[in-house]
Structure 1
């Protein structure tokens, strides 16, 4: 009897809402249930991390001579004139020795007063003028001859500061060292794979440590030039190290 009354009450409410022009309450749908399948668990790959080192050397094909002139005169004008004359002679000699104009660069030019202490007082005694050149010698076997030509041409004003040997293009030397470094790392990883009873898989990562520019290595001193000042160019060496990670299957 109570259930009948409840139904009548609900019907009366619906009739009242309809009479007022209001929509009836919407039916409530049951919530949807979504089933998510558990993700597959992948075991992490077994890897081996190794380091490799590679070293390559080559004979230099370029010499860089740092040389110039330096003179001292009573006046600034005379010092500059003497310096210019000595520099012209130096450049002419270098050019005659086979060095191209494009390979000669002025690295420094200076004019300064020279003072001396006399009886506790500083006295101006003259002026010093100098000029320094960077000279690239691409025919390395002519290095000694070029140095001698500089000294002969500029005389007492000549100044030879340094000579360094280099490679005009160090890319090939770096590529050789890099290849040797990778081979060293790969061989080590293959050995570890064999020792562990596995096969060597793919390369996962590779990091390179720069060994810097090629540098001279000690070599026996010998007369390098056929004429002129003897010098020993030695060899240049480049080094590369890598850290590699390989998968083990």
Structure 2
């Protein structure tokens, strides 16, 4: 029985709506005039390979962040504050004399607290402790040791060096290099799998970023006394990245 033209049109429209390729048998023209019914089939999806790429990049620190401060203890709050203020002013003067910009000096904490002596279960007020801490960014890593010495020389027994952390002022270029390495690693893996399976590597279908990381040298702590003689080792900064890529296989 011949298939009506409207039926053929409806079948074709249904396949197009589903975005499926419609392959019509050579007798399709005859079917329209009462011959065989057209044969429609879905084209096979191309083979794909999914891989994960990992990459990293290293760089030398270009800044150091120094945690420094002053501390003074006295019998009264005013005396403690006066001593702390004097030491803090000396610290800031020494830091500025080395060319550290105002934007790279930040007060982190100011405190004033009582000091007690505990003996035989009893507490006795001995005085008050005033302290102030600063974060100082050194933009010439090689000058970090000189800054530490300048701080301790200027503040004497009131000076405190809490930490030294090396880092990059702008982490983005290093992270970009890690992403590039991860992308290249994924493509190399996909190409190998294509060769092993007797295919050629086709187009990139999808790419998604996974975990990224940033590892800076561990923060170093230094004693307040004799800090000028402490050698410093900046180490290196490492950025990592991972991607998941899907490629077609031709």
TM-score range (shorter-chain normalised) is 0.7 to 0.9
Tell me the equivalent position of 2:193.
Answer: 192
Query: How far 1:234 sits from its partner (Å)?
Result: 0.8
Q: Give runs of aligned pairs for residues 133-148 of structure 1, distance below 5 A.
A: 133-148=134-149
2:63 and 2:184 mapped to 1: Cα distance?
Answer: 30
Query: How far 1:117 sits from its partner (Å)?
Result: 2.1
Which deviations, in whole Å up to 9, do the C-alpha atoms of 1:17-38 show, x marking residues without a partner?
xxxxxxxxxxxxxxx9941226
Tell me the equivalent position of 2:204.
Answer: 203
3-state SS of 1:183 partner = helix
Alignment RMSD: 1.8
Tell me the equivalent position of 1:27.
Answer: none
Q: Say if 1:145 and 1:229, in contact at 8 Å, map to a contact too.
A: no
Query: How far 1:200 sits from its partner (Å)?
Result: 1.0
Which deviations, in whole Å up to 9, do the C-alpha atoms of 1:180-217 show, x marking residues without a partner?
11001001101111111111111111121232234238
Q: Say if 1:53 and 1:240, in contact at 8 Å, map to a contact too.
A: yes
Query: How far 1:121 sits from its partner (Å)?
Result: 2.3
2:198 and 2:5 mapped to 1: Cα distance?
Answer: 49
2:58 and 2:152 mapped to 1: Cα distance?
Answer: 32
1:179 and 1:92 mapped to 2: Cα distance?
Answer: 45
Q: Give runs of aligned pairs for residues 29-178 of structure 1, distance below 5 A.
A: 34-35=6-7, 36-37=10-11, 39=15, 40=22, 41-178=42-179
Which deviations, in whole Å up to 9, do the C-alpha atoms of 1:39-87 show, x marking residues without a partner?
3313222110111111110111000000100111000001111000000
2:114 and 2:102 mapped to 1: Cα distance?
Answer: 31
Q: Say if 1:69 and 1:158, in contact at 8 Å, map to a contact too.
A: yes
3-state SS of 1:108 partner = strand
1:122 and 1:141 mapped to 2: Cα distance?
Answer: 47
Unaligned ranges ≥5, structure 2: 16-21, 23-41, 219-227
Q: Give runs of aligned pairs for residues 202-221 of structure 1, distance below 5 A.
A: 202-216=203-217
Query: How far 1:112 sits from its partner (Å)?
Result: 0.3
Unaligned ranges ≥5, structure 1: 1-31, 218-226
3-state SS of 2:11 partner = coil
Answer with 205-214 or 105-114: which moved more: 205-214
TM-score by length of 1: 0.79
1:100 and 1:147 mapped to 2: Cα distance?
Answer: 16
Tell me the equivalent position of 1:236.
Answer: 237
1:111 and 1:105 mapped to 2: Cα distance?
Answer: 19
TM-score by length of 2: 0.79
